[in-house]
Amino acid sequence: MSDPAFDRRLLDLAARVAMRSVGNVEPNPLVGAVVVRWSGQTPEVIGIGHHRRFGEAHAERAALVDCVRRGHDPRGATVYATLEPCNHTGKQPPCTEAIVQAGISEVVAARRDPNPVAAGGFEALEKAGVRCRVSGASRAAIALADPFVKRMRMGLPWVIAKWAQTIDGRVATRSGESKWISGDRSRQRVHRLRARVDAVLTGMGTVLADDPMLTARDVRRVRRRAMRVVADSDLDLPETCQLARTAGELRTIVACSAELATAEITREKRERLAAAGVVVMGVPLVAGRVDLKALLGRLASEHGVASVLVESGPGLLGSMLDADLVDELVVYVAPMMLGDEMARAAAAGRIAPTLSMAQRYELLRAKRIENDLEVVYRRRS
Ligand code: AOF
Ligand code: ZN
């Protein structure tokens, strides 16, 4: 059965279940699958599964197990998966094997697996007589593997920038007052987000203005303990700030210029930071600032970072956007108006003097959080 409306419905469902495990499976992809039996034109979902935790069963196997547990026979059924079934033995046996053994007759996947080690699922399945096709009908199912695909192709983590703004797009008053723009529930959701990423990135401006902790507080289940990273080209981070004071408990990295990371004049400062548990990382500079792309690459390669949450002021965010390093925006819009052109905007960059040069985003989700709006955008590739 190949009907875009059904494809979308079934792949949307697979994507929705997979989303439950954000923060539990990375650096593996989020993957969801449903097993469907067609009676004429009507699909009956007889099994649902997703990849729940890094190292554990893949989505397709989980869906097939669910199908049998519910008393259904998967023979002749169709598997809708958000990612092409893997064809390798890693921490898990190949999904292709399970699919063939179960007697599945067709596989519909939202996208091919970009991992060269696991790829080739479609070819192996077709050889065994299972029909395979890619369906682009579900935006949610395609979007699910974006972080994984990016890391595979570019060796860079998935970067999410978050901020809270007024209706007229300001993140602080002209004097820098910003506590609080969004409501309690929105701020709680930010803590939950922090508990699902590998690193939180901020700039020295924010450290000096807010002295933040950047930890996930009052979160029921902390899925990942995010390291804190400060972009601080001049190595100014005070040893007395909250980040340095808690560096013994939570990995804290200060990224400064490669020169200052080894220079004699900073030796004592570096020793004091090291004694507090802060890791000093020397990074090349571009235009006098830390090369953010290089920083992200090293966080991925040296610290296994798959996702980064940027929580910074307009300066660092502007640089991140200028360099086109941000993949996703999570914006809280609070029902508040400043109407002051001197009040601060989210990003101070130089992206676009004309509309035709504007960076374009796609609206992924919007949700009401009490009186705020939580809006998620993705960079258009
Ligand atoms: C799937 N379904 O649910 C996932 C897949 O080390 P392993 O055995 O867990 O394999 C990880 C690789 O398998 C991962 O990099 C990706 O290519 C694929 N992940 N594949 O069919 C899943 N998580
Ligand atoms: Zn698999």
Distance separating alpha carbons of residues 12 and 4, to the nearest angstrom:
12
Give the nearest ligand 1 atom to 27 CA: 15
Q: Rounded mean pLDDT of 21-49?
A: 96
Q: What is the pLDDT of residue 127?
A: 98
Closest CA to 202 of 193, 212, 194, 192: 212
Question: What proportion of the chain, given as a percentage, has pLDDT over 90?
Answer: 96
Q: What is the pLDDT of residue 40?
A: 86
Closest CA to 261 of 290, 241, 238, 239: 290
Q: Rounded mean pLDDT of 239-248?
A: 96
Encode pLDDT of 216-232 as tens digits: 998 998 999 999 999 99
Q: How many CA atoms lie within 13 A of 160 on its CB side?
A: 22
Which residue has tokens 């390669």?
A: 301
Distance separating alpha carbons of residues 281 and 304, to the nearest angstrom:
15
Question: What proportion of the chain, given as a percentage, has pLDDT over 70?
Answer: 100
> Could you say which ligand is closest to the alpha carbon of residue 94?
2
Encode pLDDT of 119-158 as tens digits: 999 999 999 999 999 999 999 999 999 999 999 999 999 9
3-class SS of residue 331: strand
Encode pLDDT of 152-180 as tens digits: 999 999 999 999 999 999 999 999 999 99
Encode pLDDT of 350-370 as tens digits: 899 999 999 999 999 999 999
Type of residue found at 109: A
Closest CA to 11 of 149, 173, 141, 187: 141
Beta strands 361-369; 372-379: pairing state: antiparallel
Which of 21, 80, 83, 86 maximizes ligand 1 atoms within 8 Å of its Cβ, making it the mutation to test the pocket?
Answer: 86
pLDDT over 90 at 262, yes or no: yes
Q: What is the pLDDT of residue 354?
A: 96
In this structure, the residue with its CA closest to atom 20 of ligand 1 is: 86
Closest CA to 212 of 190, 184, 185: 190
pLDDT over 80 at 39, yes or no: yes
Q: What is the pLDDT of residue 210?
A: 92
Which of 19, 58, 144 maximizes ligand 1 atoms within 8 Å of its Cβ, making it the mutation to test the pocket?
Answer: 58
Quote the strand ranges of 19-60, DSSP E: 32-39, 42-50
Catalytic residue among 26, 44, 56, 60: 60
Encode pLDDT of 177-214 as tens digits: 999 999 999 999 999 999 999 999 999 999 999 999 99
CB of 91 within 6 A of ligand 1: the answer is yes
Q: What is the pLDDT of residue 2?
A: 82
Closest CA to 190 of 379, 372, 380, 378: 372
Give the largest CA-CA distance in the chain. 77
Distance of CA 22 to the CA centre of its chain: 8
Compute how many other C-beta atoms are within 10 angstroms of the C-beta atom of residue 165.
22
Q: Which residues contact 62 (CB under 8 A, 6 or more apart)?
A: 33, 49, 50, 51, 52
Which residue has tokens 């979902």?
A: 45
Type of residue found at 306: A
pLDDT over 80 at 1, yes or no: no
Going from the C-alpha of 311 to that of each of 291, 320, 354, 368, the distances in angstroms are 18, 11, 27, 21
Compute the distance from residue 179 Cα to the ligand 2 centre, in Å: 45
Answer yes or no: are the C-beta atoms of 229 and 199 closer than 8 Å.
yes
Give the nearest ligand 1 atom to 84 CA: 21
Q: What is the pLDDT of residue 118?
A: 94
Answer yes or no: are the C-beta atoms of 194 and 215 closer than 8 Å.
yes
